[in-house]
Amino acid sequence: RILILDFGSQVTQLIARRVRESGVYCEIFPFNTDPQRITDFAPKAVILSGGPASVTGSDTPRAPQQVFDLGVPILGICYGQQTLCAQLGGEVEGSDHQEFGKAFVEMQADCSLTEGIWATGEKHQVWMSHGDRVVRLPEGFKVYGTSEGAPFAVVADEARQIYAVQFHPEVMHTPDGAKLLANFTHKVAGCSGDWTMAAFRQQAVEAIRKQVGDARVICGLSGGVDSSVAAVLIHEAIGEQLTCIFVDHGLLRLNEAEEVVEVFRHHYNIPLVHRNAKDLFLGKLAGVEDPERKRKIIGGTFIDVFEEEAAKIGGADFLAQGTLYPDVIESVSFTGGPSVTIKSHHNVGGLPERMDMQLVEPLRELFKDEVRDLGRELGLPERLVGRHPFPGPGLAIRIPGAVTSEQADILRKADAVYLDAIRKAGLYDAIWQAFAVLLPVKTVGVMGDARSYDYVCALRAVTSTDGMTAESYPFDHEFLAGAATRIINEVRGINRVVYDVTSKPPGTIEWE
């Protein structure tokens, strides 16, 4: 396994993804982690990430000495290169020639990092993003590649297996970057590349058995990918010791509840409590307009119902959650923010503390696309595995203001028609998240010979990698017009359709 030390770059997670895609397990630690943790992790190699600081400033991040004392191969990327060179006796200075974006590296000599990918004399596209640059190399280092703005674009001390690049191999704009990283993990670090989802499944099953013993586990299913994959994996490990509880708040997508019941109860034979609590939730939401209050009511009611159902089956010692790696990575923050970010919605209203249960979180080490692969490996249907994210409060936050059962029904239908149109156009997988929003606004239309006075439906579709930032999806006009016609023809109660072109920021993905 490989250790990635994070110096705060926006794209550190991409390094981890590329390394894992090369079949090698890795984890990200902040640069200022307890050095003992690094020794205990016993990595086969270390990668130093990029970062926003300047090595030339005093008091800026450095790699702990442990990294060099381990005697394992090291790869420094951008800031990682600069601090590595500075710490080993080289020199870095602020440059008046900043290099941002596309650049070309010209190879001057062959080294293990570029072997079989870039030959001497060749020029290849890379992605640069730096102001500082290395001006003098530490002893033992040699230049292997140069670029216009970075005379030390690729440097190495081959004897000590220390490599450093000024560009970012982890981003798509460095077309050969993934191959270079695979060369580092396989050829330089000697990792075998056999970390696959099949291997993960086996290890995870053993780990769950060890953690849980013969105790009982409950898992809250939401219909989403993460909790579904976690439940199926845990069931594989401990069988009937697991019970799933599915609280249906009546604000799910069309047929979602039926699909969850079908997959879990009938396909996998997993004990499942399906509580239809639609009236309870909609009753509590009646007349409530404030978005935050709506969320709180839904979260609180969810916990009440969940607890009630858990008590009925005699409780459990463990609570399973589909927490993912991006939620637990300790992020390096230069703005004084919290060093550990855990998205609150994965820890619904402090449920584990309130119910005094320990957590089973078998997906804590995985990225979203790895969870999808694991779901496929476990035989979950593609429709479920590839599904767009869906918020816990469901359709309630897609009906601005007070929610009624009638509006939820209209929205559910419009959403299904919209998603069907997207699937038929072959666009579903190109979009991070797409959904319909029902505006509490009525406008005048003409249908047949009659005047109509119905709701406005807004369509949303975004591309994103993590939901933190997003761009509206650039549908062509024909698609949008076709979807609008279908929604108005097939869904009673809507006579006008608009498309939301706001990106995030300044907008959010959801409307509330």
Closer to ligand XMP at the Cβ: 61 or 220? 220
> Is residue 170 among the annotated active site residues?
yes
331 belongs to an annotated ligand binding site: no
Check the annotation: does 94 bind a ligand: no
| 222 in a known ligand binding site | yes
| 226 appears as a binding residue in the annotation | yes
* Nearest to ligand XMP of 216, 295 (CB atom): 295
Q: Would you say 379 is a known binding-site residue?
A: no
Shortest distance (Å) from residue 403 CB to ligand XMP: 15
Which residues lie closer than 8 Å to 13 by C-beta, 6 or more apart? Answer: 28, 326, 329, 367
Computed over its alpha carbons, how large is the radius of gyration of the chain? 26
| HSE toward the beta carbon, residue 263, CA cutoff 13 A | 27
From 124, 130, 168, 249, the catalytic residue: 168
Question: Judged by CB, which is closer to ligand XMP: 76, or 326?
Answer: 326
- Work out how close the CB of 371 gets to ligand XMP at its nearest, in angstroms, rounded to a whole number: 15
What is the CA angle 126-127-129, rounded to 5? Answer: 140
Angle (deg, nearest 10), helices 405-424 and 278-285: 110
DSSP annotation string for 64-83: -HHHHHT---EEEETHHHHH
Strand order in the sheet with 123-136: 26-30, 2-6, 45-48, 74-77, 162-165, 154-157, 142-146, 91-107, 123-136
Of 51, 11, 47, which is closest to residue 26 (Cα–Cα)? 47
Active-site residue, selected from the candidate residues 85, 124, 170, 457: 170
Structure tokens at 59: 């008091």
The minimum distance between CB 432 and ligand XMP, in angstroms, equals 7
Catalytic residue at 168?
yes
Q: Which is nearer to ligand XMP, 267 or 343 (CB)?
A: 343
Separation of alpha carbons 158 and 128, rounded Å: 23
Residue whose CB is less far from ligand XMP, 160 or 504: 504
Asked, as a colleague might, if the bond just before 505 is cis with ω within 30 of 0, I would say yes
Q: Would you say 223 is a known binding-site residue?
A: yes
Minimum distance of ligand XMP from residue 392's CB (angstroms): 4
Question: What is residue 400's three-state secondary structure?
Answer: coil
158/304 with CB nearer ligand XMP: 304
CB of 287 to ligand XMP, least distance (A): 21
227 is known to lie in a ligand binding site: yes
State the nearest-atom distance from the C-beta of 401 to ligand XMP, in Å. Answer: 16
Catalytic (active site) residue 274: no
Q: Which residue, 357, 152, 143, is CA-closest to 243? A: 357
Residues contributing to the site for ligand XMP (CB under 6 A): 295, 345, 389, 391-393, 433, 467, 504, 508-510
Q: Of 26, 78, 85, 111, which one is the catalytic site residue?
A: 78
Region at 498 (left for phi over 0; alpha for psi -120 to 50; beta for the rest):
beta
The span from the CA of 455 to the CA of 438, in Å, is 7
User: Residue 220 is which amino acid?
Assistant: G
Report the half-sphere exposure of 328 (CA within 13 A, side-chain side): 16
Which residues have a catalytic role annotated?
78, 168, 170
List, as residue ranges, the binding site for ATP. Answer: 222-228
Annotated binding-site ranges: 222-228
